[in-house]
């Protein structure tokens, strides 16, 4: 049964993974991280991922108003050399968590990375 650390080290085994963190986007706290952050600073990453997740999940345009628990499944940002994947973690108890993966575009495969990240987010909660 994986805990936070196992989930993060497993995410780092995704091909092309540069860094991963589990972020509480209600407060902006990084609950755990592995690898490197895009600026070498996981704390700054947590703050910026929080802003992005909040902007999307609180937006009546993007979020599903019928499902307050998981208004969004994931967000994908494509930059020139990397992808940024934000996978929302669905828990029964109230939480606002996102699993963030910084993925190298040349070394990684977006579809498979997205699939694995979602599976990891589910395993973290369901065991």
Q: Judged by CB under 8 A, which of 49, 75, 85, 97 binds other proteins?
A: 97
The residues, any chain, with a CB within 8 Å of residue 4's CB and separated by 6 or more, are 22, 31, 32, 124
Task: Say whether residue 52 binds other proteins (CB under 8 A).
Answer: no
Q: Residue 104 to residues 5, 16, 39, 70, 115: CA-CA distances in angstroms?
A: 22, 5, 14, 27, 16
If the CB atoms of residues 63 and 110 are measured against other proteins, the closer one turns out to be: 63
Q: How far is the CB of 17 from other proteins (least distance, A)?
A: 19
> How many other C-beta atoms can be found within 10 angstroms of the C-beta atom of residue 119?
12
Nearest alpha carbon to residue 99 among 59, 60, 63, 45: 45
Q: Does 58 bind other proteins (CB under 8 A)?
A: yes
Closest to 39 measured CA to CA, from 95, 79, 99, 89:
79
* 71 touches other proteins by CB under 8 A: yes
Q: Which of 9, 24, 74, 109 binds other proteins (CB under 8 A)?
A: 24
Residue 44 in the binding site for other proteins (CB under 8 A):
no
- Residue 112 beta carbon to other proteins: minimum distance, rounded to whole angstroms: 22
In the complex, the smallest distance separating the C-beta of residue 104 from other proteins, rounded to whole angstroms, is: 27
Of the candidates 27, 18, 91, which has an alpha carbon nearest to the alpha carbon of residue 54?
27
Write out the residues near other proteins by the rule CB under 8 A. 1-4, 7, 24, 26-29, 31, 58, 60, 63, 65, 68, 71, 89, 91-97, 123-127
């Amino acid at each position: 049964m994986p805990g936070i650390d196992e989930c993060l080290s497993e995410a780092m085994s995704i091909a092309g993974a540069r860094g991963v963190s589990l972020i509480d986007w209600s407060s902006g706290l990084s609950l755990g991280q592995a690898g490197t952050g895009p600026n070498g600073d996981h704390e700054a990453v947590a703050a910026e991922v929080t802003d992005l997740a909040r902007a999307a999940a609180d937006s009546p345009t993007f979020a599903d108003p019928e499902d307050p628990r998981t208004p969004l499944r994931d967000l994908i940002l494509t930059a020139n050399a990397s992808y940024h994947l934000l996978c929302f973690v669905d828990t029964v108890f109230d939480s606002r968590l996102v699993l963030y993966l910084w993925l190298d575009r040349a070394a990684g495969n977006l579809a498979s990375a997205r699939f694995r990240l979602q599976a990891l987010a589910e395993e973290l909660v369901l065991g």
